């Protein structure tokens, strides 16, 4: 019985070793350039962002709140 179990373990290691190496090797592919990212630094003006208002659905801009405290809650579920 122990020889049978050891045989299965040996076969699993023999088959799993090359498979693990193939799955974890580095493919050296360059990442695509980021095109839609916007850098933001402290003291810099916030980029123009127009969104529908919750009350009436009319377009509103973040610039409408300049000088006031504003909390942006951005949520995504994926």
Q: Please, which residues have CB within 8 angstroms of residue 8's CB and are 6 or more apart in sequence? A: none
Question: CA–CA distance from 34 to each of 2, 37, 38, 64, 76 (Å)?
Answer: 56, 6, 9, 29, 20
pLDDT in tens, 28-68: 677 777 667 777 788 888 777 888 888 898 998 888 888 88
Spans of all domains in the chain: 2-65
Is residue 73 pLDDT above 70, yes or no? Answer: yes
Looking at residue 75, its pLDDT comes to: 83
- Quick one: residue 43, left, alpha or beta (phi over 0 = left, psi -120 to 50 = alpha)? left
Comparing 73 with 24, which gets the higher pLDDT? 73
Looking at residue 59, its pLDDT comes to: 92
């Amino acid at each position: 019985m122990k020889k049978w179990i050891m045989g299965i373990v040996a076969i699993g290691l023999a088959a799993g070793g090359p498979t693990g190496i193939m799955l974890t090797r580095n493919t050296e592919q360059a990442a695509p350039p980021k095109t839609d990212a916007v850098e933001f630094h402290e003291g810099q003006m916030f980029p123009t962002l127009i969104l529908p208002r919750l009350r009436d659905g009319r377009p509103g801009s973040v610039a409408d709140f300049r000088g006031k405290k504003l909390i942006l809650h951005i949520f995504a579920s994926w």
